[in-house]
Amino acid sequence: MKQELGKLPSFSKANLSQFRSFLFPGIIVILIVVSAVTILKPKLDDFLDLRRGLAKQKKELAQLSQKVAVLGGYDQNELKTRVNQVLKVLPIEKEGPFALATVRGLVSENDLELGNLEVEIGKVSTESAEVKSKKEETLPSLGIQLSVFGSLADLYNFLESVEAKAPIMRVQQVNIDREGTTIDTQIVLSTYYLVVPKEIGKVNRQVVPISAEEEKIYQELSDYQTVGDVAALPYISSGKENPFTY
């Protein structure tokens, strides 16, 4: 076959003109893909992240608004009064001497004669709460044992009044032995305390409103008063130098 000299191959020219028409769209597509991958996609990811964060922010705002609304509904002075009353009923630490003084005061108020009076304080450190009643395992308590003599009516009045005074006490056991007209009674009481919760003052804590049941409980214990003559125990500023002398 003869090759013609001085003439470009015809297929090459035709192809070039074909490619020229695809050149611009091709560049456009490449630019779109490159800009989409390098600019648009990261931006879109950022916006989507922001939107996801927005849902979280909205949730936080709703919680905060609810918290502010609930807290705004409380009267600070009323709350202080209530907290003081509740702390009087349920002290923050083991107040053995105070409980003993209360029991002693009530025994005398009800015309009973006091025999022995013991308190099982357990460890003096507040958080150790090892002495617990059988019934209430979660609320730390102190056991008080006492024996009293007197009339049955006075004893019953004592049993009633001891459960209606601050600090809170509950009768766990009563053993009554009649001796003629008088009675000899052994009583086991529990008095309770509760340390200040560790969560107090923490931020981002949900506020749970006081329920109707808890309001009833507060109304019940709002009448609990300390026994008159033990409201203020004498304060002794320091110990004695020699504890082995009386």
Contacts (CB under 8 A) with other proteins, residues 85-104: 86-87, 89-90
Q: Rounded to whole angstroms, how far apart are CA atoms 162 and 158? A: 6
Q: Rounded to whole angstroms, how far apart are CA atoms 246 and 243? A: 7
Q: Rounded to whole angstroms, how far apart are CA atoms 133 and 125? A: 18
Q: How many CA atoms lie within 13 A of 98 on its CB side?
A: 23
CB of 242 to other proteins, least distance (A): 41
The residue within the footprint of other proteins, chosen from 1, 3, 12, 72 (CB under 8 A), is 72
- Paired with 149 in beta bridges are 113, 184
Identify residues 157-186 at the interface with other proteins (CB under 8 A): 157, 159-160, 163, 168, 170-178
- Is the bond into 167 cis (omega within 30 degrees of 0)? yes
If one asks whether residue 223 binds other proteins (CB under 8 A), the answer comes out as no
Closer to other proteins by CB, 47 or 225: give it. Answer: 47
- Paired with 146 in beta bridges are 117, 187
CB of 109 to other proteins, least distance (A): 15
If one asks whether residue 131 binds other proteins (CB under 8 A), the answer comes out as no
CB of 178 to other proteins, least distance (A): 6
CB of 69 to other proteins, least distance (A): 10
Identify residues 8-67 at the interface with other proteins (CB under 8 A): 17, 21-22, 24-25, 28-29, 32, 36, 40, 43-44, 46-47, 50-51, 53-54, 57-58, 60-61, 64-65, 67
Provide the 3-class DSSP secondary structure of residue 190.
Answer: strand
The Cβ of residue 66 has, within 10 Å, a number of other Cβ atoms equal to: 13
No. of H helices and E strands in the chain?
6, 6
Closer to other proteins by CB, 104 or 170: give it. Answer: 170
The residue within the footprint of other proteins, chosen from 76, 116, 181, 238 (CB under 8 A), is 76
Stretch that binds other proteins, among 109-117, 142-150, 200-208, 230-238 (CB under 8 A): 200-208
Q: Rounded to whole angstroms, how far apart are CA atoms 246 and 244? A: 7
